[in-house]
Structures are given as structure tokens and as C-alpha cells.
Amino acid sequence: MQQKRRGLIAVALAAGLLAGPAAAQDYTGPVRIFVGFPAGGATDTVARVLADKLKDVMNQPFLIENRGGAGGMIATQQLKAAPADGSTVMLTIDHTQVIIPLTFKAPGYDAIADFTPLAGVATYFNAMGVSATLNVRNLNEFGAWLKANPGRANFGVPAAGSVPQFASLIVGKALGVPNPVVVPYKGGAPLVQDLLGGQVPAGVSSLTEYIEHHRAGRINVLAISGTTRSKAAPDVPTFQELGLKGVDKNPWLAFVGPKGMPRPFVDRFSRAVATVLRMPEVSERLVKMGNEVTYATPEQVQEWITSATAHWAPVIRDSGYQLQ
């Protein structure tokens, strides 16, 4: 009798162990997508495009929750504390997962240990844009303008301690201005507005923020990051083409979730993202915005984080940037 009781307990324990992943895999309630930036921005727009299709592929509601502040740090801290049952994910960027941990003493999270990588969505470009009021059409002309106007060597960036800030220092040094004044903004949108009005002569931000204004001739994009030109702006050369090194690492967009998400959910969600990215109406929309559709597996997303950290850590250290 005692042996039979032990056998029943073992069966019950096994059933309990199997229930966790199965329950997560079968979760059909609303899925919250945290976005660490305000509505209407580039990351938010991509999240909404994907959510609209994910709801059909996964047959469950997807809700965008904008939790802006501190370059995505607030949303990421909240994601860390969220349940790992498939109800909460986040569309994040390299600034949040890579640069913040390199520039803050206590960001409140570990980009690798505290999260589950889910799926890569796209890479995009950092871009040097100048106000059309400068009448500057290429990087050489901009360098000449800087030398003629040394007191106006101000580079706007969407956030302090961001990749655009360090890219500005690299570009400034290459153009003969080793210490340009970096003007941090609270996001790309207000930077774009000041570029349009000529309040700041130049700025480094994502190509997605500039692309429509570049097409309309209101902002001149002079160069972009990466090793190949953007499909959305084939007229714009890369910094690498122009001989500038150190700005070839492109930023990216990826989904992550709280630590400990069951593998069945991870696989199902990642496959759904891959399916959505193959839809022409989605891929064409993302490319038009200035993104390069780049699906990545959970393992590849983790590699994105580690390789970007390895790239930017020495750049930030050598810049003399003081940890916040």
C-alpha cells in the first residue's frame, strides 16, 4: 500500500511539472507589449504594426503600453518585475539593453540575466542630419561649414549617454572638431523639430526619425551607420564609405520578456514574429520607415546584445563619459 501511495505521488508530481509549460503555451489572454518611449515615436510605430498582425497569428489580443522615461529604463525595470507567463513582453532597442547598462552605475537590471530573449525584428540606422537652412549637401561641405562656424558646432542627440552622442564625438573629431557641443533632447521628435527650425544645425538620431523630412528636403541626411546603404534612402552613403570608422554598428529592435519564460511560449512567440515579418504589408511598411527587416531567433537576440556591448564598451570608456 505504501509503495502504491509513493507511485501515485510521483505521478502527481510529474503532472505538476508538466502543467507549467503547457499552461504558458496555452495562454490565450491579452498580451501586453511594453514600449519604453512615447506614442508616435519610431519604436511605438513598429510595435503597433507588429501587434496588429500578431493578434491574428497568435489568436489573442495584443495591447501596447507606452511606459516612457529614461530611455526605456523605466519600462525595462517594470518588465523585469512582470510575470513570466506569456502575458507581458517588450519591444526594446539596443540603447535600452546595451547602452544604459554601460552608462549607469545602477540601471536596475541586467540585460542578460534578467530577461528572456524572444525575437529580433529589425536593424536600423543612426544618421547624421543637418538643417536644410545650412544648405549643406554632403559630409565634406558640413566639415567646411563647421570650420567656418566653430561657435555653432552643436550636435543634437535624442538622449544623453546614447549611441548618437558617442557617434557625434566620432564624427566631430573626423571633421576637425574634436569637442563638439552635444545637446541632449528628450527623444528624437523634439530634436527633429529644432532641426526643421534651424535652432540646432545638426543632429545624430535614427534614420526613421529623419526619413520623411529628408525626402521632402527639410532635413539633409548626410551619412548613416552600418556597412550597406539603406533601402529607404539609397542616395545616402554610409560613414564607412566616407572613411569614418567606429560608426558601423547598427542599432536594432527586438522582443524580450521577463526571466524564466517557458520555452514552449518562447518558440511559439518567436515563430509568430517570423510569420508576421514575412508579410509583404509589414516588411514594406518597416522598410519605408527606414528599417531593415531582420528576424532573429532568441539565441541570435542574445548575441546581438553581447556583441553590441563588446563594441560600445570601449568607445564609451575612451570617450571619458562619466557614469550616471
DSSP string, 229-268: --TT-TTSPBTTTTT--S--PPPEEEEEEETT--HHHHHH
pLDDT at residue 12, as a whole number: 37
Q: In terms of CATH, what superfamily is 30-124+251-319?
A: Bordetella uptake gene, domain 1 (3.40.190.150)
The pTM assigned to this predicted structure is: 0.84
Beta pairing class for 252-258 and 88-93? antiparallel
pLDDT at residue 70, as a whole number: 83
The domain ranges of the chain are 30-124+251-319, 126-224
pLDDT at residue 285, as a whole number: 95
**DSSP state at residue 295:** E
CA distance 314 to 323: 14
Q: Which CATH number fits domain 126-224: 3.40.50.150, 3.10.20.30, 3.30.420.130, 3.40.190.10?
A: 3.40.190.10
pLDDT at residue 26, as a whole number: 60
Question: How confident is the prediction along the chain (324 residues), in pLDDT tens digits per residue?
Answer: 444 334 433 333 333 333 344 444 467 789 999 999 888 888 999 999 999 999 999 999 999 999 988 889 999 999 999 999 999 999 999 999 999 999 999 999 999 999 999 999 999 999 999 999 999 999 999 999 999 998 898 999 988 889 999 999 889 989 988 888 999 987 888 899 999 999 999 999 999 989 999 999 999 999 999 999 999 999 999 999 999 988 888 999 999 999 999 999 999 999 999 999 999 999 999 999 999 999 999 999 999 999 999 999 998 888 888 888
Write the CA distances from 289 to 45, 91, 212, 230, 233, integer angstroms: 9, 17, 8, 10, 10
CA distance 26 to 214: 46
pLDDT at residue 13, as a whole number: 34
**One fold for both 30-124+251-319 and 126-224?**
yes
Please state, as a whole number, how many other Cβ atoms lie within 10 Å of the Cβ of residue 31.
20
